[in-house]
Structure 1
Amino acid sequence: MNYERLEADKKDILLIDDMAVNLRVLSAILAREGYNVRKALNWQMALTACQTVLPDLILLDIMMPEVDGYEVCQRLKASQLTADIPVIFISALDDVFDKVKAFSVGGVDYITKPFESEEVLVRVQNQLALRTAQLEILKLNAELEQRVQQRTSELEKALHKLQGEVTYRKHLQSKLLDIALHDSLTGLPNRILFIRRLEKALNSAKQEPNYHFAVLFLDCDRFKVINDSLGHLVGDELLRAIARRLQACLKPVDTLARLGGDEFAILLENLTDISIAIKLAESILQQLSLSFQLSRYEVFMNASIGISWGNKDYDRPEYLLRDADTAMYRAKAQGRARYYVFDPVMYQEAIQILELENDLRRAIERQEFLVYYQPIISLSTGRISGFEALVRWQHPIRGLVSPIEFIPVAEETGLINAINTWVLRSACQQLSIWQHYPVTPEPLTISVNLSARLFLQPDLLVQIDQIIEETKVNPAYLELEITESVIMENSNAVRIILQQLKQRKMKLVMDDFGTGYSSLSYLHSFPLNALKIDKSFVKRMQENQENMGLVPAMIGIADSMGMVVIAEGVETKEQLLQLRSLNCNFAQGYFFARPLEQQSVIKLLAASPQW
Structure 2
Amino acid sequence: MISFSTQDINILIVDDMADNLKVLANTLSAQGYQVRCAKNGSTALRGASAILPDLILLDIKMPDLDGYEVCQRLKANILTCNIPVIFLSALDDVLDKVRAFEVGGVDFISKPIQVKEVLVRVKNQIALQLAHAKISQLNQELEIRVQQRTIELKTVNQSLLREINERQRIQQKLVYDSLHDGLTGLGNRSLLMERVEWTIKHAQRHPDYMYALLFIDLDRFKVINDSLGHSTGDRLLIAVANSLQKCLRENDLVARLGGDEFVILLDGISSIEDATMIGDRIQGKLRSPFELKGQNIFTSASIGIVFGSPDYTNAAELLRDADIAMYRAKAKGKSRYEIFDMAMYQETLKLLELENHLRQAVKRNEFVLHYQPIISLNHSKLVGFEALIRWQHPTKGSIPPVEFIPLAEDTGLILEIGEWLLKEACQQLKQWQQKFAQIPQVASLKMNVNIASQQLQQPEFIQKLDRILQETGLNGNCLRLEITESVLIDPEGCIQNTLKQIRERNIKLSIDDFGTGYSSLSYLRRFPIDNLKIDRSFIEQMNYDLENLEIVRVIITLAKTLGMDAISEGVETPQQLQQLKALGCEFGQGFLFSKPLPSIGVESMLAHYPKSFNENYPNFN
- Normalization by structure 2: what TM-score? 0.62
After TM superposition, give the deviation of residue 373 of structure 1 in Å.
0.7
Following the alignment from structure 2 to structure 1, what is the Cα–Cα distance between the partners of residues 537 and 570? 8
After TM superposition, give the deviation of residue 205 of structure 1 in Å.
4.7
- Alignment correspondent of 1:111: 111
Following the alignment from structure 1 to structure 2, what is the Cα–Cα distance between the partners of residues 298 and 478? 45
- Alignment correspondent of 1:422: 420
After TM superposition, give the deviation of residue 431 of structure 1 in Å.
0.9
**Residues 99, 568 of structure 1: CA spacing in aligned structure 2 closer, same or farther, 3 A cutoff?**
farther
Residue-by-residue CA offset, 1:396-416 (whole Å, 9 max, x unaligned):
343322211222222233322
- Alignment correspondent of 1:461: 462
Is residue 413 of structure 1 aligned with residue 411 of structure 2? yes
Residue-by-residue CA offset, 1:295-333 (whole Å, 9 max, x unaligned):
999998765432111122334343122212332344455
**Residues 530, 198 of structure 1: CA spacing in aligned structure 2 closer, same or farther, 3 A cutoff?**
closer
Residue-by-residue CA offset, 1:37-74 (whole Å, 9 max, x unaligned):
xxxxxxxxxxxxxxxxxxxxxxxxxxxxxxxxxxxxxx
Following the alignment from structure 1 to structure 2, what is the Cα–Cα distance between the partners of residues 400 and 586? 29
Unaligned runs of 5+ in 1: 1-87, 101-108, 121-174
**Residues 282, 407 of structure 1: CA spacing in aligned structure 2 closer, same or farther, 3 A cutoff?**
same
**What are the residue-to-residue correspondences of 1:42-121 with 2, within 5 Å?**
96=96, 111=111
- Alignment correspondent of 1:370: 368
Residue-by-residue CA offset, 1:182-203 (whole Å, 9 max, x unaligned):
5376887665564455445445
**Equivalent position amino acid for 2:511 in 1:** M
**Residues 310, 389 of structure 1: CA spacing in aligned structure 2 closer, same or farther, 3 A cutoff?**
same
Following the alignment from structure 1 to structure 2, what is the Cα–Cα distance between the partners of residues 296 and 485? 29
Q: Contact 1:214–1:310 (CA<8 Å) still a contact in 2? A: yes
**What are the residue-to-residue correspondences of 1:387-466 with 2, within 5 Å?**
387-438=385-436, 441-442=441-442, 443-466=444-467
**What are the residue-to-residue correspondences of 1:535-574 with 2, within 5 Å?**
535-574=536-575
**Residues 234, 518 of structure 1: CA spacing in aligned structure 2 closer, same or farther, 3 A cutoff?**
closer
- Alignment correspondent of 2:45: none
Residue-by-residue CA offset, 1:239-295 (whole Å, 9 max, x unaligned):
5x7666655544444455555666554433444420111112323444566788999
Is residue 578 of structure 1 aligned with residue 582 of structure 2? no
**Residues 445, 309 of structure 1: CA spacing in aligned structure 2 closer, same or farther, 3 A cutoff?**
same
Matched-pair identity in %: 44
Q: Contact 2:535–2:569 (CA<8 Å) still a contact in 1? A: yes
After TM superposition, give the deviation of residue 461 of structure 1 in Å.
2.4
- Alignment correspondent of 1:604: 605
SS of match in other structure, 1:469: helix
Following the alignment from structure 1 to structure 2, what is the Cα–Cα distance between the partners of residues 99 and 466? 63
Q: Contact 1:94–1:192 (CA<8 Å) still a contact in 2? A: no
After TM superposition, give the deviation of residue 542 of structure 1 in Å.
1.0
When structure 1 is superposed on structure 2, of 424-433 and 323-332 the one drifting more is 323-332
Following the alignment from structure 2 to structure 1, what is the Cα–Cα distance between the partners of residues 291 and 551? 47
Following the alignment from structure 2 to structure 1, what is the Cα–Cα distance between the partners of residues 356 and 115? 24
**Residues 512, 266 of structure 1: CA spacing in aligned structure 2 closer, same or farther, 3 A cutoff?**
closer
SS of match in other structure, 2:513: strand
Is residue 384 of structure 1 aligned with residue 382 of structure 2? yes
Following the alignment from structure 1 to structure 2, what is the Cα–Cα distance between the partners of residues 367 and 301? 42
When structure 1 is superposed on structure 2, of 316-325 and 427-436 the one drifting more is 316-325
- Alignment correspondent of 2:180: 183
Following the alignment from structure 2 to structure 1, what is the Cα–Cα distance between the partners of residues 333 and 547? 30
- Alignment correspondent of 1:144: none
Unaligned runs of 5+ in 2: 1-87, 101-108, 119-170
**Equivalent position amino acid for 2:111 in 1:** I
SS of match in other structure, 1:541: coil
Q: Contact 2:237–2:260 (CA<8 Å) still a contact in 1? A: no
**Paired residue for 1:268, among 266, 286, 292?**
266
After TM superposition, give the deviation of residue 568 of structure 1 in Å.
0.7
After TM superposition, give the deviation of residue 390 of structure 1 in Å.
0.9
After TM superposition, give the deviation of residue 580 of structure 1 in Å.
2.7
- Alignment correspondent of 2:479: 478
When structure 1 is superposed on structure 2, of 272-281 and 518-527 the one drifting more is 518-527
Q: Contact 1:376–1:587 (CA<8 Å) still a contact in 2? A: yes
**Paired residue for 1:278, among 276, 279, 293?**
276
- Alignment correspondent of 1:344: 342
Following the alignment from structure 1 to structure 2, what is the Cα–Cα distance between the partners of residues 591 and 213? 58
Following the alignment from structure 1 to structure 2, what is the Cα–Cα distance between the partners of residues 484 and 230? 22
Following the alignment from structure 2 to structure 1, what is the Cα–Cα distance between the partners of residues 185 and 501? 56
- Alignment correspondent of 1:593: 594
**What are the residue-to-residue correspondences of 1:186-205 with 2, within 5 Å?**
191=189, 194-195=192-193, 197-203=195-201, 205=203
After TM superposition, give the deviation of residue 383 of structure 1 in Å.
3.6
**Equivalent position amino acid for 1:436 in 2:** Q
**What are the residue-to-residue correspondences of 1:288-299 with 2, within 5 Å?**
none
**Equivalent position amino acid for 2:420 in 1:** W
Following the alignment from structure 2 to structure 1, what is the Cα–Cα distance between the partners of residues 281 and 407? 35
Following the alignment from structure 1 to structure 2, what is the Cα–Cα distance between the partners of residues 382 and 98? 83
Following the alignment from structure 2 to structure 1, what is the Cα–Cα distance between the partners of residues 566 and 484? 15
After TM superposition, give the deviation of residue 446 of structure 1 in Å.
1.4
**Residues 294, 406 of structure 1: CA spacing in aligned structure 2 closer, same or farther, 3 A cutoff?**
closer
**Equivalent position amino acid for 1:450 in 2:** I
How many residues get paired? Answer: 459
**Residues 587, 254 of structure 1: CA spacing in aligned structure 2 closer, same or farther, 3 A cutoff?**
closer
Following the alignment from structure 2 to structure 1, what is the Cα–Cα distance between the partners of residues 226 and 558? 43
Q: Contact 1:99–1:110 (CA<8 Å) still a contact in 2? A: no
When structure 1 is superposed on structure 2, of 573-582 and 545-554 the one drifting more is 545-554
Residue-by-residue CA offset, 1:164-209 (whole Å, 9 max, x unaligned):
xxxxxxxxxxx9xx96795376887665564455445445555665
Following the alignment from structure 1 to structure 2, what is the Cα–Cα distance between the partners of residues 412 and 475? 29
Following the alignment from structure 1 to structure 2, what is the Cα–Cα distance between the partners of residues 377 and 342? 48
**Equivalent position amino acid for 1:215 in 2:** L
SS of match in other structure, 1:370: strand
**Paired residue for 2:316, among 308, 315, 318?**
318
Q: Contact 2:92–2:110 (CA<8 Å) still a contact in 1? A: no
Following the alignment from structure 1 to structure 2, what is the Cα–Cα distance between the partners of residues 556 and 227? 32
Q: Contact 2:180–2:191 (CA<8 Å) still a contact in 1? A: no
When structure 1 is superposed on structure 2, of 393-402 and 364-373 the one drifting more is 393-402
**Residues 262, 596 of structure 1: CA spacing in aligned structure 2 closer, same or farther, 3 A cutoff?**
closer
**Equivalent position amino acid for 1:429 in 2:** Q
Q: Contact 1:223–1:235 (CA<8 Å) still a contact in 2? A: no
Residue-by-residue CA offset, 1:443-492 (whole Å, 9 max, x unaligned):
32211122222222223222222222222223322222222222332584
SS of match in other structure, 1:489: coil
Q: Contact 1:227–1:235 (CA<8 Å) still a contact in 2? A: no
After TM superposition, give the deviation of residue 389 of structure 1 in Å.
0.5
Following the alignment from structure 1 to structure 2, what is the Cα–Cα distance between the partners of residues 215 and 409? 27
Compute the RMSD of aligned alpha carbons.
4.4
- Alignment correspondent of 2:61: none
**Residues 380, 483 of structure 1: CA spacing in aligned structure 2 closer, same or farther, 3 A cutoff?**
same
Q: Contact 1:93–1:192 (CA<8 Å) still a contact in 2? A: no
SS of match in other structure, 1:311: coil
Following the alignment from structure 1 to structure 2, what is the Cα–Cα distance between the partners of residues 420 and 117? 41
**Residues 306, 373 of structure 1: CA spacing in aligned structure 2 closer, same or farther, 3 A cutoff?**
same
- Alignment correspondent of 1:503: 504
Following the alignment from structure 2 to structure 1, what is the Cα–Cα distance between the partners of residues 555 and 252? 58
Q: Contact 1:479–1:508 (CA<8 Å) still a contact in 2? A: yes
- Alignment correspondent of 1:517: 518
When structure 1 is superposed on structure 2, of 272-281 and 190-199 the one drifting more is 190-199
- Normalization by structure 1: what TM-score? 0.63
Following the alignment from structure 1 to structure 2, what is the Cα–Cα distance between the partners of residues 463 and 406? 24
SS of match in other structure, 2:541: helix
- Alignment correspondent of 2:531: 530
Following the alignment from structure 1 to structure 2, what is the Cα–Cα distance between the partners of residues 312 and 437? 68
Q: Contact 1:92–1:195 (CA<8 Å) still a contact in 2? A: no
SS of match in other structure, 2:111: strand
